[in-house]
């Protein structure tokens, strides 16, 4: 399968991931945990950022996303340490896991194989094995759904409501697939010759970061993102200058009324300096459906932008070169 096939299969991945998540076993309970650290890189880390967004109002312990060889000093025996590496061989994640083990943290592993799976089996760690065959970014649904089920179980909640919510998301994406593709093509026409500046309210940080990463890897394009209200305290200022080489993209989903008002003001002010602003919205007011709809839509944008630019969305040569050079030092 190539990237286009994986993006098209995104809704089906949701249901497949639900079936896999039913096999999750967890020895730890919430009473044992003071904090949660999700450690990973790139396509194996973005799932953690997304789940941190989605559970911000329901989980009573903090989630930290760790993207380094080292771990925070607070990690201890009351930490649930989740190591996520699609290949199972990500050196930063393996290093972080080793440190978490030395601090006697509760460990859960998400991988498709490699050294991480060997560790899980040899040490009888709770873990889930996700399917091989795609790039980490192409298997996003598997890591997100596993994390949602895992943290739902940690709280002692039934998985029935979560399962139905996810199936409703799949139903929505399948029903609106053609409309989503048409909108993606329309967005590509607006942004193809300009550098994207992606803005979202804090509740949609995972969508903004995912879109940036998909533009980087699939489209081979530079992009940057910032959050509202934070960007109103710094990044809003340069928009006083006219700039026809950039395109602001607002991921305009459910948020606090104050932040929604900020989005409207930002768009009106920035339109004084650019030809156009892309305002990504969805009439459906269900937060989960909006979240996954935006991810799926913007994944298609990254693919069509790659096709329009004549680049291979599957190619990540520079990442492979970097890894090879690191291994040779």
Whether residue 324 is contained in a domain is answered as no
- 117 and 42 in one domain? yes
Name which of 27-36, 43-52, 54-63, 138-147 the model is least confident about: 27-36
The enclosing domain of 245 has a CATH number of 3.40.50.10490
Whether residue 76 is contained in a domain is answered as yes
CB atoms within 10 A of CB 141: 27
- pLDDT category of residue 265 using cuts at 50, 70 and 90: very high
Q: Give helix then strand counts, H and E, for the chain.
A: 12, 9
Considering the candidates 67, 171, 308, 323, report the single residue annotated as catalytic.
323
**pLDDT score for 243:** 87
Which residues 6+ apart lie within 8 Å of 110 measured at CB?
44, 82, 83, 84, 85, 127, 128, 130, 143, 146, 147
Say yes or no to pLDDT of 137 above 80.
yes
Domain boundary among 138, 169, 200: 169
Considering the candidates 22, 233, 241, 324, report the single residue annotated as catalytic.
233
**pLDDT score for 190:** 95
Whether residue 104 is contained in a domain is answered as yes
- 197 and 260 in one domain? yes
**pLDDT score for 156:** 85
- Over residues 252-261, the pLDDT tens digits come to 999 999 999 9
**pLDDT score for 161:** 93
**With contact defined as beta carbons under 8 Å apart, do 294 and 251 qualify?**
yes
Say yes or no to pLDDT of 5 above 80.
yes
- 240 and 133 in one domain? no
Q: What tokens were used for 63?
A: 């989630």
**pLDDT score for 216:** 97
Say yes or no to pLDDT of 329 above 80.
no
- 200 and 137 in one domain? no
Counted domains in the chain: 2
- 139 and 32 in one domain? yes
Say yes or no to pLDDT of 122 above 80.
yes
Say yes or no to pLDDT of 324 above 90.
no
- 196 and 148 in one domain? no
- 89 and 13 in one domain? yes
**pLDDT score for 31:** 85
Considering the candidates 106, 217, 293, 296, report the single residue annotated as catalytic.
217
**Arithmetic mean of pLDDT, 307-319:** 93
Whether residue 228 is contained in a domain is answered as yes
Q: Is 97 exposed, middle or buried (0-12, 13-18, 19+ CB in 10 A)?
A: buried
Whether residue 93 is contained in a domain is answered as yes
Domain boundary among 169, 200, 231: 169
Q: What tokens were used for 50?
A: 């997304």
Domain range for residue 84?
3-169
Say yes or no to pLDDT of 22 above 90.
no
Average pLDDT, the chain: 95
> What is the Cα–Cα distance from 259 to 245, expressed in whole angstroms?
27
Of 153 and 28, the one with more pLDDT: 153
pTM: 0.96
- 159 and 124 in one domain? yes
Say yes or no to pLDDT of 41 above 90.
yes
Of 244 and 202, the one with more pLDDT: 202
Whether residue 314 is contained in a domain is answered as no
**pLDDT score for 64:** 97
Select from 89, 92, 123, 125 the least CA-distant residue to 107: 125
- Over residues 267-306, the pLDDT tens digits come to 999 999 999 999 999 999 999 999 999 999 999 999 999 9
Whether residue 142 is contained in a domain is answered as yes
> What is the Cα–Cα distance from 24 to 4, expressed in whole angstroms?
29
For residue 227, the 8-state DSSP code is: E
**With contact defined as beta carbons under 8 Å apart, do 127 and 27 qualify?**
no
323 noted as active-site residue: yes
- 133 and 230 in one domain? no
Give the highest mean pLDDT range of 129-133, 289-293, 318-322. Answer: 289-293
**With contact defined as beta carbons under 8 Å apart, do 156 and 29 qualify?**
yes
- 71 and 10 in one domain? yes
**Arithmetic mean of pLDDT, 35-57:** 96
- 250 and 149 in one domain? no
- 131 and 20 in one domain? yes
**Arithmetic mean of pLDDT, 69-80:** 97
The torsion angles phi and psi of 323, rounded to 5 degrees, stand at: -60, -40
**Arithmetic mean of pLDDT, 40-57:** 95
Whether residue 156 is contained in a domain is answered as yes
**pLDDT score for 171:** 98
For residue 131, the 8-state DSSP code is: P
217 noted as active-site residue: yes
């Amino acid at each position: 399968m190539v990237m286009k096939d994986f993006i098209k299969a995104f809704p089906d991945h949701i249901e497949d991931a639900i079936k896999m998540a039913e096999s999750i076993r967890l020895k730890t309970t919430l009473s044992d945990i003071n904090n949660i650290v999700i450690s990973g890189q790139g396509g194996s880390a973005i799932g953690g950022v997304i789940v941190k967004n989605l559970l911000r109002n329901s989980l009573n312990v903090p989630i930290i996303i760790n993207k380094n060889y080292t771990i925070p000093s607070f990690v201890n025996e009351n930490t649930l340490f989740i190591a996520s590496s699609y290949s199972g061989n990500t050196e930063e994640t393996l290093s972080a896991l080793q440190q978490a083990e030395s601090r006697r943290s509760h460990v859960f592993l998400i991988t498709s194989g490699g050294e991480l799976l060997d560790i899980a089996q040899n040490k009888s760690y709770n873990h889930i094995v996700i399917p091989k065959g795609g790039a980490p970014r192409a298997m996003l649904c598997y890591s997100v759904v596993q994390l949602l089920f895992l943290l739902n179980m940690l709280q002692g909640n039934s998985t029935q409501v979560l399962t139905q919510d996810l199936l409703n998301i799949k139903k929505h994406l399948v029903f609106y697939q053609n409309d989503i593709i048409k909108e993606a093509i329309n967005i590509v026409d607006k942004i193809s010759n300009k550098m994207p500046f992606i803005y979202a309210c804090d509740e949609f940080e995972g969508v903004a970061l995912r879109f940036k990463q998909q533009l980087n890897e699939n489209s081979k394009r530079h992009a940057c993102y910032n959050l509202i209200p934070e960007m109103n305290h710094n990044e809003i200022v340069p928009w006083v200058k006219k700039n026809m080489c950039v395109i602001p993209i607002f991921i305009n989903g459910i948020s606090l009324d104050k932040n929604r008002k900020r989005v409207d003001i930002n768009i009106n002010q920035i339109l004084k300096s650019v030809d156009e602003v892309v305002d990504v919205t969805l009439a459906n007011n269900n937060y989960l459906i909006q979240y996954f709809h935006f991810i799926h839509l913007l994944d298609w944008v990254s693919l069509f932008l790659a096709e329009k630019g004549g680049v291979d969305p599957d190619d990540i040569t520079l990442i492979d070169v970097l890894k090879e050079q690191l291994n040779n030092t």
